[in-house]
Chain A
Amino acid sequence: MIDAITGLGRSALNALEVFGRAFVFLLRVLASLDVVLRRFGLTLFQIYSVGVRSLLIIVVSGLFVGMVLGYQGYITLVNFGAAEALGGVVALSLVRELGPVVTALLFAGRAGSALTAELGLMKTTEQLSAMEMMAVNPYRRIFAPRFVAGFLSMPLLAAIFSAVGVMGGYLVGVGLLGVDSGAYFSQMQAVTDWNEDVLSGVIKSIVFGFVVTWIAVFQGFNAQPTSEGISRATTQTVVVSSLAVLGLDFILTGLMFGAG
């Protein structure tokens, strides 16, 4: 019994310690951000490996999520004779929730895990150490560009996801199920507000991008320098960032839409 309590206390302390380290790490990365403007090529390359290479999975998933939304929404709405409202249902669900959240989850799985594994491997093979010994600051050369790339890519990916999803809903709703094309878009525009819905979604995706990239880069930095350590860090990235995204989504949704 006492053992269980001490164990609990110890793991709580450990978690706090890791969080503290992650925070110090973040501050150091933020302090190195000027390198992003000075040597944009580094960041550009990272946007390629983080953003561009996530594009395919985002487009395909967005399309299918939109199609499923179109189908399910239609089935529900047609019972109330309100099939014309389909556009609004699809757009609102995508722009407010599914776009940012699903994109962030996919992003954590695709780009986040890759970032962690890459950095963990660099640490294990002493590349980070070697860089320090060559008087090159890894925060500036390695961490900051990756961090900014993830942070910038996420909102773009989420916007692409939502836009493709709207088209997917259109394909199913209008193309297959016969909802009127004009009604699909006019209903959409009637209920979707730029400030309240679209911008809120964009803000969400920026927050998610920040958090997921932070977790991924930190996990790579903090990985035990063994192959087991890398695999554990990679798993941690996906698990922790998924939970963080879902938890934050709840809080942000409450803040943004709670009053209205």
Chain B
Amino acid sequence: MAEPPVADSPHIVIENLCFRRGRKVIFDDLSMRIPRGQVTTVMGPSGSGKTTLLRLIGGQLRPDNGRIWVDGQEVARLSTRRLYALRKRMGMLFQSGALLTDLSVFENVAFPLREHTNLPEDVLQTLVLLKLEAVGLRAARDLDPASLSGGMARRVALARAIALDPDLIMYDEPFTGLDPITMGQIVSLIRRTNQSLGLTSVLVSHDVAEAMAISDQVVLIAGGQVVDAGAPDELKARASDWSAQFLQGRPDGPVPFHYPGASYRDDLLGQRRDD
């Protein structure tokens, strides 16, 4: 590895990130730091590129401009081999769970271990059951991913993401589409995982209440830039107009309710003229 990770240096550093998809600008000169060992939530409206940000950190996408360092290594410049080595120390939880549909729950959790280690079968079994126990699904090991509910699938995916004991874990919209009980389970799991394994957690979410409750640091992004960042309480206290609208969920404000365009009046009059 390039340089030994220093304990108090930020885990992830993003500087002047620019990223375009087609003609649409997703990130425009975005910079942020994600501290080690804490829960950081990136929040923003739908379509603000939160998931894209995780993919950029994971090296699945390359920035058009700017740089991203993870553990002191610049992700976009790594060779495939080094990138894969880095990814072994990253876990990622996809919104859908992204479990491999042709494998059972047990085999899904065992998958990264089988791919990357040569553990004897009994050790592997112990490890997998340990991870499944941590998410409360040890009894579901023989189920098919298709027969799991959304919340269970996400918990299995979490067990799989921590199978290799990573030091960074990324959650893509972990709270979306869950009932209150499952939501509570996921929230406590994320918190507990972060504490017991001492890893850095990065969440991407637009569920304000859960995210504020769980995070050590919140970063608000909109329009391709960081709008506001800080501890949850701090953020609530000194919220700018935009942050206040987002955090309190007001329908209108700096982010307009109406999709930008000609005024309603002009549209109506224009239509009449056409007749």
Contacts and interface: CB of A to CB of B under 8 A. Distances in A.
Interface of A: 121-122, 125-127, 129-137, 141
B94 interface: yes
A126 B100 CA distance: 9
A129 B115 contact: no
Interface in B40-73: 55, 58, 60
Interface of B: 55, 58, 60, 80, 84-85, 87-88, 90-92, 94-96, 98-101, 111-112, 115-116, 157, 160, 164
A135 B84 contact: yes
B98 A121 contact: no
B210 to A, nearest CB: 22
Contacts of A134: 87-88, 92, 111-112, 115, 160, 164
Nearest to B83: A135
B84 A130 contact: no
A135 B89 CA distance: 9
Which one of B60, B111, B115, B164 has the greatest number of beta carbons of chain A within 10 Å?
B115
A137 B88 CA distance: 12
B94 A130 contact: yes
B115 A125 contact: no
Nearest to A130: B98
Given A125-B98, A127-B98, A133 B60 contact: yes
Given A134-B88, A135-B84, A141-B115, 14 more contacts: A125-B98, A126-B96, A126-B98, A127-B100, A129-B55, A130-B92, A130-B157, A132-B87, A134-B92, A134-B111, A134-B115, A135-B87, A136-B115, A136-B116
Q: 5 closest Cβ contacts across the A-B interface?
A: A130-B98, A135-B87, A126-B98, A135-B84, A133-B92
Given A134-B87, A135-B84, A135-B85, A129 B98 contact: yes
A129 B84 contact: no
Contacts of B91: 133
Contacts of A132: 58, 60, 87
Nearest to A141: B115
B264 to A, nearest CB: 33
B162 to A, nearest CB: 12
A10 to B, nearest CB: 15
